[in-house]
Structure 1
Amino acid sequence: MVRHIQCTPRELEVYITCLERVMRRYIQRLQWLLSGSRRLFGAILESKVCILLDTSGSMGPYLQQVKTELTLLIWEQLRKHCDSFNLLSFAEGLQAWQDTLVETTDTACHEAMQWVTHLHAQGSTSVLQALLKAFSFPDVEALYLLTDGKPDTSRRLILREVQRLKEKNDVKVHAISLSCSDRAAVNFLRDLASLTGGRYHCPAGEDALFKMHGLLTRGFIHQRDPALPLFEGDDLRRLAQEITKARSFLWQAQSFRSQLQKKNNTEPKVAPF
């Protein structure tokens, strides 16, 4: 039981209104992160980037979907927000779209889209060679590495080499995993991103998306609403933590308001003299 509430009913109403506004903004942000090319690739933050795409044999079941999402990424994020970009696929060998970063124009995006359509899956996963190549591109600010997390080289060796490269070039590596089921692969990609100040991203599954659609449609501010799914990716996980915290503050404030209303309704009325 709460015995002392150091605020007036009016102040409590203002606080609740502010929290509800914050929750709506959080929900809009969550919807944004779960939509379009951001669902698979996350949000592209830098202006000079290279997208590294795993086209090894193990990517075969996913490659057509990835190619579709990559085409969307080119127009939805790279064209709108980046000054220059490049694409690099890797399997047993490397296949770069261009020799260096190129200006983000309509013509370049159309050519990149055509290049993507010819990608196919085969061979092993030369993650280290792809990173070495991408780090060598002049002026690159960030690499977005999409893979199933099964490199053909020692993971420790890759991390050591990236640490060495990072000391020479301040380039972030944002690691994107197609599956969260292989914990060793997930931990490797998390470590790779963390080592360079990048972010780890794992797209939400269909079950989580279906559950989230219902929650977000209802507004997700009532205490009876279920908890958010457990997100693996850094951006979604951090936002979910903030939403959970804001929800707990909102429920607490609503409980205080209810107690104040009950107290005011039960207090005896004093007749004027």
Structure 2
Amino acid sequence: MVVKTLKRYVKRYEWLTTGSRKYFGLICEECIVILIDTSGSMDAHLNEIKTYLKLLIWEQLHRNKVFFNMVGFSSTLLEWQASGVVMADEIYCHDAIAWIDQLKATGGTCTGEAILCGLNHLQIMNSSNIKEMHDVNFNEMSKGIYLITDGKPDVSCSSLIKNINEVWNLTPDSNVDSQNTKIAKTSKTLNNTTSKKDKIKHTKASKLVQLHKCPPIHTISYTNDQTALSFLKKLSNLTNGRFHTFLDMTSTINVFLDYLLQSLSKMNTNENDNRSTYQKDILSFPNIQSDDIRLIQKEIRTTYRTLICLKYFQDVYKETKLLRKRVKSGAKCIGLVIALAKNSN
């Protein structure tokens, strides 16, 4: 039973590390907004991001009929659908891919404004989008924000975390007007850190409805900078989101998978020595940072530890059973010797 569970975990690991899931994780929500960093520093990664965004659209969004929108952000915001989220049907998917193709890397990184814009899109539906929903309750949909970036925002990381925390901590019982005022103030604070030319007016903030539950922010990192990584991890943890990074991680992910497959192969052939070697490699393997993969990696390690414990108890049982046989056999021999001694007397 434990071995069957392990095999399922390995299949799950393979599945999570292929296609768009390897780069963006598993899209769990019914309605999402994807925020794409198009600042100048993203120039080296943008073509790769475009390729896997297109794969994401067809592989996860279109297949599961997810409602989605995309926002590119640098010094300013570029919204794909200004009116809000749309269902990932074939027409919108082709339009989204055409929009992705025209993205260019230039300017700064207004992460805070992009997050507020994404939050706004998850809270508002215009009349045309409502008609498209075919009696689906938009307010009851699971929602999420996916932030793709290579590093730190233009503003202080700590101040942005503080501002996001204030917005995400708005209670359901708060007055709607006071919520909108607070969000508008937060937006103004973020915008004041940029030049007048780059200021962005968020007129939609006044239309925000009451926040019943703030969505998670899932962060997808394209950087090895430790400060930026720490910021993105904090942001995802703060909002109950997931953190993903795959930069320079492909070989690590593949090596761990190879250990798993080799270990399962040795289990099937009962090669205990080699199996033990691979088990040690798996248990001592460094943690993979992407949350989806890290969690399944944790489950796999737990299963291997369970197998090791079971193997230990099986060996103890066999040794105990063998010892009992020897004791029983020894007792018979002693009895026979005693009987022979009595007969000789």
The TM-score range, normalised by the shorter chain, is 0.7 to 0.9
CA–CA distance in 1 between the matches of 2:300 and 2:108? 41
1:223 to 276, 279, 293: 276
Matched residue, 1:129:
113
Alignment match, 1:260: 317
Q: Is 2:69 the partner of 1:117?
A: no
Gap runs ≥5 in structure 1: 1-17
Aligned pairs for 1:6-155 within 5 A: 18-99=1-82, 100-139=84-123, 141-155=143-157
Are 1:88 and 1:130, in contact at CA under 8 Å, matched by a contact in 2? yes
**CA spacing shift, 1:206–1:96, aligned 2, 3 Å:** same
Q: Which runs of 5+ in 2 are unaligned?
A: 125-142, 171-178, 180-210, 268-274, 337-345
TM-aligned CA deviation for residue 157 of structure 1:
2.1
TM-score with structure 2 length normalisation?
0.69
- Cα distance change of structure 1 residues 73 and 115 upon mapping to structure 2, 3 Å threshold: same
Distance 2:2 2:88 in 1: 40
- CA separation in 2, counterparts of 1:82 and 1:175? 22
Give the C-alpha shift of residue 138 in structure 1. Answer: 4.2
Aligned partner of residue 302 in structure 2, secondary structure: helix
CA, structure 1 residues 194+213, in 2 after alignment: closer, same or farther (shift >3 Å)?
Answer: closer
Match of 1:250 in 2: 307
2:260 and 2:35 map into 1 onto residues whose CA distance is 32
Alignment of 1:205-224 (within 5 A): 205-220=249-264, 222-224=275-277
AA at the equivalent of 2:41: S
**How many angstroms apart in 2 are the aligned matches of 1:241 and 1:207?**
19
Query: Distance in 2 between the 1:184 and 1:148 partners?
Result: 11
Q: Contact 1:48/1:139 (CA < 8 Å) preserved in 2? A: no
Contact 1:135/1:165 (CA < 8 Å) preserved in 2? no
* Cα-to-partner distance string for 1:195-226 (whole Å, 9 max, x where unaligned): 11111111261221331341233245733111
SS at 2:49's partner residue?
A: helix
Structure with the higher fraction of residues in helix conformation: 2
The structure 1 segments of at least 4 consecutive aligned residues displaced by more than 6 Å after TM superposition are none
Instruction: State the identity as a percent.
Output: 31
CA contact (8 A) 1:193 1:199 kept: yes
Pick which of 183-192 and 205-214 moved more. 205-214
Alignment equivalent of 2:290, drawn from 225, 233, 242? 233
Q: CA deviation at 1:134?
A: 1.0
Give per-residue Cα distances to partners, 1:81-108, cap 9 Å, x unaligned: 2431001111111111111111221110
From the CA coordinates, give the structure whose radius of gyration is larger.
Answer: 2
Give me the TM-score of the superposition, normalised by structure 1.
Answer: 0.86
How many residues are paired up? Answer: 254
Q: Tell me, what secondary structure is at the counterpart of 1:223?
A: helix
CA RMSD of aligned residues (A): 2.0
